[in-house]
Structure 1
Amino acid sequence: MLSLYKNHTGQIEFPLNCSNRHFTLTCPSTYYPATYEPQDSSPKVCPEYFRWIHEDLRPWKSTGITREMLDRGKNYSTFKLVIVKGKAYVEKYRGTYQTRDVFTIWGILQLLRLYPGKVPDLELMFWCEDKPAVEKKDFELEGPKPISAPPVFHYCGSEDSLDIVFPDWTFWGWAETNIRPWEKMLESLIESNKKMKWKDRLPYAYWKGNLWSSPNRIPLRKCNVSHKHDWNARLYSLHWDDESQQGFKNSKLEDQCTHRYKIYMEGNAWSVSEKYILACDSMSLIIEPEYYDFFSRSMVPLKHYWPISINNMCSDIKFAVNWGNTHTSKAEAIGKGGSNFIQENLKMKFVYDYMFHLLSEYAKLLRFEPIVPKGALEICSETMACPMDGPIWKKFMVESMVKSPSDTLPCTMPPPNSYPQVRQEFLQKKEIIIGKVETWEDRGSWQ
């Protein structure tokens, strides 16, 4: 049995305990409280992007989710997660790239430790690849004989898909690229921003990554400086295999906040790089995305970023940099706006709160009683971290582990009844602003 104890502030703690070899096979009988009531019962209001939870679950609002719907999701999923009485069980269906599934499951286990006894019983399917799995065109969602889509959780969504968007694995670390868990990574980026004032940074648009990872990035290559053109962009190709052999000395994200402008470009789908780019204080140039993650849908052009058309990206990048270098105070404010959005709204507490509210709202739609799969093994922090091979994998797990229950309740969700009108007004506002920028670019002037 793993005993709980209180630290010097009187807060309950349950550290990782790998001293007992049995923990690598089975979970201890008591490894965190079954229930817990925080002392502070006045939670904050959730950030605006939490409203999108209602939209992502809307396809099942009128019908609910039956077991038949859930089971059809097996063909679209990497694993199935079951939570019953605060304990987690996993069935894996197929492998995935690197350790995405491992760190996704790890993150959910930390949610259970943060809010003991508060996450409802549920069963869900999860997809861990790049692109969304469930396409709208495959299902007749309306009409006399609607075909219900299987509910599948995933890291990103699009206008053409029905995937339920969930925080990606890198919030708990991306071991294969030596990117630390988000909480520590954000601290490093904030400290890096203090080292160089915005006006002292290089007056160009910066991008670094794998230019060959996706056909979507082929047009971006043409925007790099050459003897024929200077689009005000400085692009650097990165090969992760070479970086790994060199100890990742050229890929530290906290060393990449040296330009006034940073470019965000999708890969095969959305890119996890978005949050790191936005956190840099640089004015982010976001090339018209096809996909979205859970937080980015509430960002506003010219407040949090500068929009770049995918059809004219090189000339648009040049125009944006020229505009910014002419209107330095405004450009710096946009950079700060994006960085503040990330620093204030994407704290790990809010990431966990988003997970909590999404899973809670999802569980309300289930029209069956969640059950533990026959022969399934319970998983917990000990069974995942203690036997983990490779020191960096275990290091990131320990670094991102929740050691104590939250001292506050989850933030308060915006009410769903006001959502449709707010969403429509917000999208119209974004279209107007983007249209304004496009007019400036067409004229070649911002007058």
Structure 2
Amino acid sequence: MLGRFSVFILILCNCSCKSCDKSQGTCSADTNESANKYSEEINTRWLPYIMKISNAVASYTPCDKNACSCHYPLLKKDLAVFKDGITKNMIQSARERGTFYQIINKKLYRQSDCMFPSRCSGIEHFILKIIDTLPDMEMILNTRDWPQVNRRFGDVKPVFSFSKTAEYMDITYPAWTFWEGGPAISLYPTGLGRWDILRKSLGTSAEEWTWSKKKAMAFFRGSRTSSERDSLVYLSREKPNLVDAQYTKNQAWKSDADTLYAPPATEVPLEEHCQYKFLFNFRGVAASFRFKHLFLCGSLVYHIGDEWIEFFYPQMQPWVHYIPVRAGATKEEIRNLLDFAIENDEIANEIAERGQQFIKHHLRMKDVLCYWRKLLRSYAQLLKYSPEKEEGLIHIRPKAQ
């Protein structure tokens, strides 16, 4: 893989349009020019992208797929804020920021009310799976879409949130959507969830739509939760053979004005996204729940913006696993990035494969459970007191499967 990038650089640094001998690392003016699939004009145009990919791949160290240690750097960073310990007063001051839980004698307890019951249920599923391995503790789990502890205010509070930006000190936990409680749309009326099932169905679809069979087009379906998505939709209207991007309804939809003055599109199952080579991921109110699903198609993912993360994002690298797109990119910028992938099909396929393999090997259900276990055990070690069972909490028991 790296050898190919080295050859690219040799070609590009040579001012004449020659082909290079990979084994010798030299160029010959007599070599048949047609042997090189990249012309000087194309290589020169795409040099910045090729260099970014080459440098990113060269500096990337793959994770051990036999452990969830791949994601530990974020865990350690999140908990480093509390290196001096977590007091009872800190917990009490944070209670209004989320849902209060206790683990006492291998049993899970929760305050009686939960703002989003299916989200709490999705979280509780994983905690109950590992509860026999956990010490006593109490914690505040935020189930809102947005994080709670902004660095600007300097008030350190131990609050767990599923997604955040660098402005926040929340402790990142695996989202409830790995089990249940995701966005409810017509295709997923009870909410997107069951990552274990979707992994299988998306894997089957990816096998049907291998890279060579995919349409060389970009695809996106989603509601207009952010104007950052507009450029792609406008490009789709101008270049329908290049991009199929349309807005669907959401709960706030009132008229066609909410879908850029076009009728709302029909929602498309995630499995059908696999027909396309290029899939776009945009944040919504926070990090996008669709992100992890797109990679399993074996398609090249274009990820817009890098502010919002979930627990597994930091170990996925731009240009290694996906194509980064700046937030607010213009139609021209997006078109240029798509042209690059179309004209450099093999490189695009390699990035898509690396992204797919990362999610396959490092975001299994057992990796999610592993992260929960490591996170909660590490967190419990920071408590400077021994929690006692609080009156009025409800006992959370496993649901019948």
| TM-score (normalizing by structure 2) | 0.74
Shift of 1:202: 1.5
Give the match for residue 274 of structure 1: 291
- Give the secondary structure class of the aligned counterpart of 2:75: helix
User: Which stretches in structure 2 are left out of the alignment for 5+ residues?
Assistant: 1-64, 253-265
Q: Does 1:261 align with 2:272?
A: no
Q: 1 CA distance for matches of 2:358 and 2:332?
A: 27
- Give the secondary structure class of the aligned counterpart of 1:124: strand
User: Which stretches in structure 1 are left out of the alignment for 5+ residues?
Assistant: 1-42, 140-146, 243-248, 386-397, 399-447
Q: Does 1:68 align with 2:94?
A: no
Q: 2 CA distance for matches of 1:65 and 1:233?
A: 50
Checking the alignment, whether the CA contact within 8 Å between 2:228 and 2:329 is kept in structure 1 is no
Q: 2 CA distance for matches of 1:366 and 1:216?
A: 42
Shift of 1:241: 6.8
Shift of 1:237: 2.0
Counterpart of 2:243, as a letter, is A
Query: CA deviation digits over 1:134-188, x for unaligned, max 9?
Result: 111111xxxxxxx5x1100011121100111111111113473423400111011
| TM-score (normalizing by structure 1) | 0.67
Q: 2 CA distance for matches of 1:250 and 1:223?
A: 18
1:87 to 107, 122, 144: 107
- Give the secondary structure class of the aligned counterpart of 2:381: helix
Q: Look at both structures and tell me which one has the larger radius of gyration over its CA atoms.
A: 2
Shift of 1:378: 1.4
Calculate the aligned-residue CA RMSD, in Å: 2.4
Q: Does 1:347 align with 2:389?
A: no
Q: 1:93 to 1:69 in 2, by over 3 A?
A: farther
- Give the secondary structure class of the aligned counterpart of 1:82: strand
Identity %: 24
- Give the secondary structure class of the aligned counterpart of 1:375: coil
- Give the secondary structure class of the aligned counterpart of 1:88: strand
Give the match for residue 176 of structure 2: 169
Q: 1 CA distance for matches of 2:347 and 2:76?
A: 34
Q: Does 1:322 align with 2:344?
A: no
Query: CA deviation digits over 1:67-86, x for unaligned, max 9?
Result: 00011111211x11111121
Checking the alignment, whether the CA contact within 8 Å between 2:112 and 2:393 is kept in structure 1 is no
Q: 2 CA distance for matches of 1:239 and 1:304?
A: 30
Give the match for residue 49 of structure 1: 71
Q: 2 CA distance for matches of 1:271 and 1:364?
A: 31
Shift of 1:302: 1.6
Q: 1:251 to 1:53 in 2, by over 3 A?
A: same
Query: CA deviation digits over 1:91-121, x for unaligned, max 9?
Result: 155523x722222223322232xxx2x1121
Give the match for residue 366 of structure 1: 383
Q: Does 1:238 align with 2:248?
A: yes
Q: 1 CA distance for matches of 2:213 and 2:174?
A: 34
Shift of 1:218: 5.1
Q: Does 1:225 align with 2:236?
A: yes
Q: 2 CA distance for matches of 1:47 and 1:232?
A: 39
Query: CA deviation digits over 1:199-244, x for unaligned, max 9?
Result: 2212121111112xx23545445544224x66943212223679xx
Give the match for residue 336 of structure 1: 353
Shift of 1:338: 0.6
Q: 1:274 to 1:218 in 2, by over 3 A?
A: closer
Q: How does 1:391-430 map to 2 (within 5 A)?
A: 398=401
Checking the alignment, whether the CA contact within 8 Å between 1:287 and 1:313 is kept in structure 2 is no
Q: How does 1:114-263 map to 2 (within 5 A)?
A: 116=132, 118-139=133-154, 147=155, 149-174=156-181, 176-177=184-185, 178=188, 179-211=192-224, 214-217=225-228, 219-220=230-231, 222-227=233-238, 232-239=242-249, 250-263=267-280
Counterpart of 1:363, as a letter, is A
The number of aligned residues is 319
Q: 2 CA distance for matches of 1:94 and 1:73?
A: 15
Counterpart of 2:138, as a letter, is E
Checking the alignment, whether the CA contact within 8 Å between 2:229 and 2:282 is kept in structure 1 is no
Structure 1: 4+ residue segments shifted above 6 A: none
Counterpart of 2:338, as a letter, is V
Give the match for residue 103 of structure 1: 122
Checking the alignment, whether the CA contact within 8 Å between 1:301 and 1:307 is kept in structure 2 is yes
Counterpart of 1:322, as a letter, is D
Q: 1 CA distance for matches of 2:95 and 2:251?
A: 32
Deviates more, 1:51-60 or 1:171-180: 171-180
Checking the alignment, whether the CA contact within 8 Å between 1:233 and 1:317 is kept in structure 2 is no
Q: 2 CA distance for matches of 1:313 and 1:49?
A: 33
Checking the alignment, whether the CA contact within 8 Å between 2:87 and 2:385 is kept in structure 1 is yes
- Give the secondary structure class of the aligned counterpart of 2:384: coil
Q: 2 CA distance for matches of 1:195 and 1:293?
A: 29
